[in-house]
């Protein structure tokens, strides 16, 4: 089954290769969507794909790249969005 989730990741998640790492992991998992930095220091992403692939990516998001320190991740189901790939939004 396919679905979309919106995730907000808090902690030391900006300036630590988090968005690029998310892009690479999403492509490995076959997940589509986008990721961006928020003004408050968090990272937000919308991820769409098979539930198993989303779970795999969300496991990575809980840790992030080696130099990140994830304190909290909130996620919620959102209506399906069609994406052609995965991108970093600025």
Of residues 12, 37, 89, 90, which has the active-site annotation?
A: 37
Can you tell me the mean pLDDT for 54-66?
A: 97
Decide if 40 is catalytic.
no
Contact, 41 vs 71, CB < 8 A?
no
Of residues 19, 40, 51, 89, which has the active-site annotation?
A: 19
Residue ranges with strand state E in 18-67: 32-37, 43-50
Domains of the chain, earliest start first: 2-78 (3.30.70.100)
Residues 7-24 pLDDT 10s: 999 999 999 999 999 999
CA distance 72 to 85: 26
Contact, 19 vs 7, CB < 8 A?
no
Nearest to 70 by CA among 56, 60, 81, 82: 60
Local confidence band at 25 (pLDDT 50, 70, 90 cut-offs)? very high
CA distance 27 to 86: 7
Report the predicted TM-score, pTM, of the whole model to 2 decimal places: 0.96
Decide if 5 is catalytic.
no
């Amino acid at each position: 089954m396919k679905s979309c989730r919106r995730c907000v990741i808090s902690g030391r998640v900006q300036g630590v290769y988090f968005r690029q790492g998310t892009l690479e992991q999403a492509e490995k998992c076959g997940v589509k969507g986008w990721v961006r930095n928020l003004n408050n220091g968090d990272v937000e992403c919308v991820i769409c794909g098979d539930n198993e692939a989303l779970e795999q990516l969300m496991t990575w998001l809980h840790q992030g790249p080696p130099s990140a320190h994830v304190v909290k991740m909130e996620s919620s189901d959102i209506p399906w969005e069609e994406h052609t790939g995965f991108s970093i939004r600025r």
